[in-house]
Amino acid sequence: MKKKERFIGTCSDYTHEGLGVVKKDHDVIFVKNLLVGEEAEIEIIKVLKNYCVGRVYKMIKPSDEREEPICPVYKLCGGCSLMHMSYQAQQAFKTKRVKDTMERIGHVFFPVNDCLMDEEIYHYRNKVQVPVGEKDHRIVTGFYKPHTNDIIDNDFCFIQNEFSNEVTKYVKTLLEKYHIKPYDKVLKQGHIKHILTRYGVHTNEGMLALITYTKKVPHLHDLVNDVHNKFPSITTIIQNINPRHDNVILGDEVNVLYGPGYIHDTLLGNDYTISLKSFYQINPRQVEVLYTKAIELANLNKDDIVLDAYCGIGTIGLTLAKDVKKVYGIEVVEQAIEDAKENAKRNNIKNAEFICGDAGEVALEYKKQGIHFDVVIVDPPRKGCSELFLKQLIELSPERLVYISCNVATQARDMQLLTQYYEVKEIQPVDMFPQTTHVETVCLLSKLSEVKNHISVEVDMDEMDLTAAESKATYQEIQEWVQEKYRFHVTHLNIAQVKRKHGIIERENYNKPKSEDSRQPGCPEEKEQAIEEALKHFQMII
């Protein structure tokens, strides 16, 4: 297809970013703000090697699932991407996204539960970091237009909590009042980079952090006094100095301008100290749904010893501590571990131990100490578990593994390895971020027994002509069938191994080792089962 070409097409699927997928002949076109089933006149705006990008030129047949976005800058801002989709359709999208990713990346073919959705779909974020810029000689605050450094000026975001909206808007007026200049990425000058707010929904305690390019900021203390007088609920104000020129938001130096430097909030009955750099889940309502589900899946008892890897400030481990014998928490961020220890003291929890370090290295030390974990709960960052940690996790060999993830792609990647040693028992998506494509997933895995289960197939040799059976499907036909149904590749060797297992005699020396002591890789269990299904499909086995 060519740029500016128009055609009429129907959306058949979504990308993981929520773009509509339209197919025309051999071309695939991704279209923003187009729903499955909708028919539209589409204009090509970009032609790439493997796909095209289009826009809706004219809507012909809208979907019943289409909703009018309530945000006036929705089409420009990059903060949300699904506001044009009903919440029921968002549930279907997120459930399918998890299923497709597990199958495509992790080769995990297991039923995925319907995504657990939020009861309130707006104003759920308890942490906001808003970039500050200048446009036409006036200060702008908002979020970046996708794939650009252009800030879409907006004083009210529908997914941020109202406290953050009010505080950010007021600080913006103070920057104008005191002539405090935003940081300019091109000129590398100015003062303010971001306005960050955190809010404890159960305690009504607020935090304001000003991320600055320079340590000295004119009228900074005047600004602090004005904010404190305007918002009594703000219990701490912080300056974070970040002299870097990249996209990293927080710097290393922290200057507490007012209050203790942290706020508190409660989660499932425990009280938590939250500092500027503490990891604390964004959606306070849904995090309780997520953690409750994770603890339910863990099926804990009073004698269990639990490892909470990538523990952050200890929220998961401290929540389940009352149900188990001992909890060990690992986190690489030193401040988070200090917060976790303080949170254990605040809640009088004495059976939880927290250590700062790489999850893989600390897990290895625990193994050397002879500590056996009945349950391991992991909640890694977006990049997933480290290779070292996964290796040590397999060595630790817990009976049950609960894997929580904010990035199903890296979770699926890790599952591809873990499912060689563990059996998937449940996959539960949770919507932590309504109106966006993000989805949190919690998976339960149970350790496989030493003697793996095999499919037993009884064959009556008198009734089955083995030569005829072998000829029913070629190797290529079996490969194509598996690829189509399971979306992964099997080799001729894999097929030969499974055929021999079921008594389908190969031609002499075909795919056989050249010597008796030669070692060939065994066929993975997942591929073996897929090939067996193919053999049944082609009536080569019963």
What residues are labeled active site? Answer: 406
CB-based contact 122:159 (threshold 8 Å): yes
Residue 45 CB neighbours (<10 A): 16
Helix (H) or strand (E) holding 64: none
**Is the sign of the CA dihedral 118, 120, 121, 125 positive or negative?**
negative
* 143 to 79, 129, 132, 146, 165: CA distances (angstroms): 6, 9, 9, 9, 13
* 48 to 43, 52, 369, 374: CA distances (angstroms): 14, 6, 55, 50
Q: How far apart are CA 195 and CA 212, in angstroms?
A: 9
338: phi then psi, degrees, rounded to nearest 5:
-60, -40
Q: Pinpoint the alpha helices (H) of 262-325.
A: 284-298, 315-320
Cβ-count burial 370-394 (b if 16+ within 10 Å, e if not): eeebbbbbbbbeeebbbeebbebbb
Helix (H) or strand (E) holding 10: strand 6-14
Burial class (CB in 10 A: 0-12, 13-18, 19+), 348: exposed
Token pair, residue 517, equals 């002591």
Q: How far apart are CA 102 and CA 410, in angstroms?
A: 10
CB-based contact 197:209 (threshold 8 Å): yes
